[in-house]
Amino acid sequence: MNYKAPRGTHDIFGTNALAMSLLEQQARVIFKKHGFEEIRTPLFEDAALFMRSIGQTTDIVEKEMYIFEDRKSRKLALRPEGTASLVRAFIENRLDISMPAGRFFYIGEMFRYERPQTGRYRQFHQIGAEFLGNPSPAADAEIIILAQDLLFSVGIKEMDVRVNSLGCEKCRYLFREALVKYFCSVRDLCEDCVRRLEKNPLRVLDCKTDSHKFTGVPRISDYLCDYCKDSFNLVLSLLESAGCNYTADEKLVRGLDYYTRTVFEIRSDAVGSQDALVAGGRYDNLVGELGGQNTPAVGFALGSERVLLAARNTGFFDSFQESEKIFIAIADQELFNEAFSFAVKMIRNGLKGGKDISVFGPVNGKSLTSQLKFADKIKAVKTIVFAKTEFENGKFLVKNMKDKTQVEVLIDEL
Ligand code: ATP
Ligand code: MG
């Protein structure tokens, strides 16, 4: 065959598909407990929406977006993240009125043109939550705890929760000035840094090439106003009282422009160099900037593939409840119709006792031996054999595929 999945994309099947859907299923249960409601937005949006909200000098907008024109020359983009779409939907559908609790979650594919490696793909899945309309540091703390609960649900216990505050515009203005002054004194900044220094000096802090050179760099904590300082301390003390182990990390700036005050990441070293499993923060200005009523907000996004990589050795992958496979075989071809309708009935009604089962067969035109071989291949636990003499007496044979013993059972008994 001449076709391959596009670079950086994957087919998800078998155990990985089971793991992904169990993760999503558990996430839905946890979201419900925290009062979050689902929202599904389009996979593509007006490209300008992302440019405007994520920021022109961010990695996503500078080099990672899949942008295309449709047949009417509209400039669209495959969504690289969920927050911008959600805020657009919040404003457009007046969700502040119809869903006043303001707690939303989303689950789905995101697209970024990146260099593919373990835990970094061009199409990947995120599970994210956004808490709109609540300015309290308690909302920040709840969002962090909620993200942590999702990781606990797949057995991840070792995690590194990093929290920082980027302050409000006022604190950031002063910090920015100090940063520019400082960075101008650093030699040999990389090309990206030089460019960003002009437009967005905060992003220089985030540079993966240069950050080791930044000794004595100004600290944001020295520039926080009293309100920002107090809210940050309250977030930290709420986390502490909820038993969340965190590290306050002044180096954490995050790659998206819309954040204000709290930003956080949850990392795990089980994923190698792509170690951020969850990232998020507060973005009090975005709703207003996109044309809505000023609405404070805080949220996070979790990368499902990375989380599942980190859950490889936690026992999560051994926890799938596999259903018992039952194969329906026919020893005599003329019983095919009866066997078929029995299989349908069994699928609809299940077994007595309510055990989880999956039903396979019957197949026609195959010898009993080859039917039994197939039953072994799919790891059927039992095979129910329709044979003429037994069937005429209202019975069939139930074969235990492990020890190959068989018993006659009355048809009504199953
Ligand atoms: P990174 O620094 O690793 O590039 P990011 O800051 O770009 O991450 P966010 O935009 O905050 O990441 O996305 C939140 C989460 O989504 C990340 O912590 C990660 O788990 C996941 N994620 C981001 N980009 C990818 C990708 N290309 N492939 C797989 N997962 C990703
Ligand atoms: Mg990135």
Sequential DSSP letters for 54-123: H-TTSHIIIII--EEE-TT--EEEE-S-SHHHHHHHHHHTTHHHHSTT-EEEEEEEEE-----BTTB-SE
* Token pair listed for 134: 């609540």
Q: Which of 133, 134, 159 is nearest to 148 (CA)?
A: 159
Helices 14-33/137-152 angle, 10° precision:
150
Q: What is the pLDDT of residues 60-71, one digit of tens each?
A: 999 999 999 999
From residue 120, give the alpha-carbon distance in Å to each of 211, 275, 277: 21, 10, 11
For all residues of the chain together, what is the average pLDDT?
93
Whether 211 shows a pLDDT value over 90: the answer reads: no
- At residue 290, the pLDDT reads 95
Whether 9 shows a pLDDT value over 90: the answer reads: yes
Residue 405 contacts by C-beta under 8 Å, 6 or more apart in sequence? 399
Residue with the bigger pLDDT between 117 and 353: it is 117
| 21 CA to centre of own chain | 10
Indicate whether residue 303 lines ligand 1 (CB < 6 A).
yes
Indicate whether residue 250 lines ligand 1 (CB < 6 A).
no
- At residue 401, the pLDDT reads 95
- Tell the residue nearest (CA) to atom 2 of ligand 1: 276
* Residue 42 pLDDT grade (very low, low, confident, very high; cuts 50, 70, 90): very high
Give the pTM: 0.92
Whether 122 shows a pLDDT value over 90: the answer reads: yes
- Tell the residue nearest (CA) to atom 6 of ligand 1: 255
* Residue 353 pLDDT grade (very low, low, confident, very high; cuts 50, 70, 90): confident
Count of all residues that appear for the chain in the document:
414
* Residue 33 pLDDT grade (very low, low, confident, very high; cuts 50, 70, 90): very high
Name the percent of the chain lying above pLDDT 90. 78
Q: What is the pLDDT of residues 137-151, one digit of tens each?
A: 999 999 999 999 999
Please check whether residue 161 is in contact with residue 275, taking contact to mean a CB–CB distance below 8 angstroms. Answer: no
What value does the mean pLDDT take over residues 30-43?
98
What value does the mean pLDDT take over residues 401-407?
94
Sequential DSSP letters for 353-397: T---EEEE---SSS-HHHHHHHHHHTT-SEEEEE-HHHHHTTEEE
State the ligand closest to the CA atom of 300: 1
- At residue 329, the pLDDT reads 97
Q: Looking at 117-269, list the stretches that DSSP marks H as alpha helix, in order from N- to C-terminal side.
A: 137-152, 169-184, 191-199, 201-204, 226-241
Tell me the CA–centroid distance for residue 304 and ligand 1, in Å. 10
Q: Which of 113, 104, 102, 106 is nearest to 77 (CA)?
A: 113
Q: Which of 118, 123, 209, 274 to mutate to test the pocket of ligand 1 (most atoms within 8 A of CB)?
A: 274
What value does the mean pLDDT take over residues 17-42?
97
What value does the mean pLDDT take over residues 211-234?
92
Name the percent of the chain lying above pLDDT 70. 100
Handedness of CA 237, 229, 268, 257 (dihedral sign): positive
- At residue 248, the pLDDT reads 96
Tell me the CA–centroid distance for residue 161 and ligand 2, in Å. 18
* Residue 270 pLDDT grade (very low, low, confident, very high; cuts 50, 70, 90): confident
- At residue 188, the pLDDT reads 84
* Token pair listed for 308: 């599942």
CA angle 127, 357, 414 (to 5 degrees): 155
* Residue 413 pLDDT grade (very low, low, confident, very high; cuts 50, 70, 90): confident
Indicate whether residue 121 lines ligand 1 (CB < 6 A).
yes
Indicate whether residue 112 lines ligand 1 (CB < 6 A).
yes
Helices 47-54/83-92 angle, 10° precision:
110
- At residue 380, the pLDDT reads 96
Q: Which domains does the chain have, with CATH numbers?
A: 14-168+225-317 (3.30.930.10), 323-413 (3.40.50.800)
Q: What is the pLDDT of residues 357-385, one digit of tens each?
A: 999 989 999 999 999 999 999 999 999 99
Whether 280 shows a pLDDT value over 80: the answer reads: yes
* Token pair listed for 264: 């956080």
271 phi, psi to nearest 5 deg: -110, 15
- At residue 112, the pLDDT reads 98
Sort strands 67-69 and 75-78 into parallel, antiparallel or unpaired.
Answer: antiparallel
- Tell the residue nearest (CA) to atom 19 of ligand 1: 303
Q: What is the pLDDT of residues 153-202, one digit of tens each?
A: 999 999 999 999 999 989 989 999 999 999 888 888 888 888 888 888 88
- At residue 158, the pLDDT reads 92
Indicate whether residue 306 lines ligand 1 (CB < 6 A).
yes
- At residue 197, the pLDDT reads 86
Indicate whether residue 263 lines ligand 1 (CB < 6 A).
no
Q: What is the pLDDT of residues 63-105, one digit of tens each?
A: 999 999 999 999 999 999 999 999 999 999 999 889 988 999 9
Whether 352 shows a pLDDT value over 80: the answer reads: no
Please check whether residue 100 is in contact with residue 32, taking contact to mean a CB–CB distance below 8 angstroms. Answer: no
Please check whether residue 83 is in contact with residue 258, taking contact to mean a CB–CB distance below 8 angstroms. Answer: yes
Please check whether residue 302 is in contact with residue 110, taking contact to mean a CB–CB distance below 8 angstroms. Answer: no
Residue 10 contacts by C-beta under 8 Å, 6 or more apart in sequence? 121, 123
> Where do we find the tokens 């040999």?
188
Whether 320 shows a pLDDT value over 90: the answer reads: no
- At residue 126, the pLDDT reads 98
| 59 CA to centre of own chain | 20
- At residue 58, the pLDDT reads 86
> Lowest-confidence range among 207-211, 237-241, 384-388?
207-211
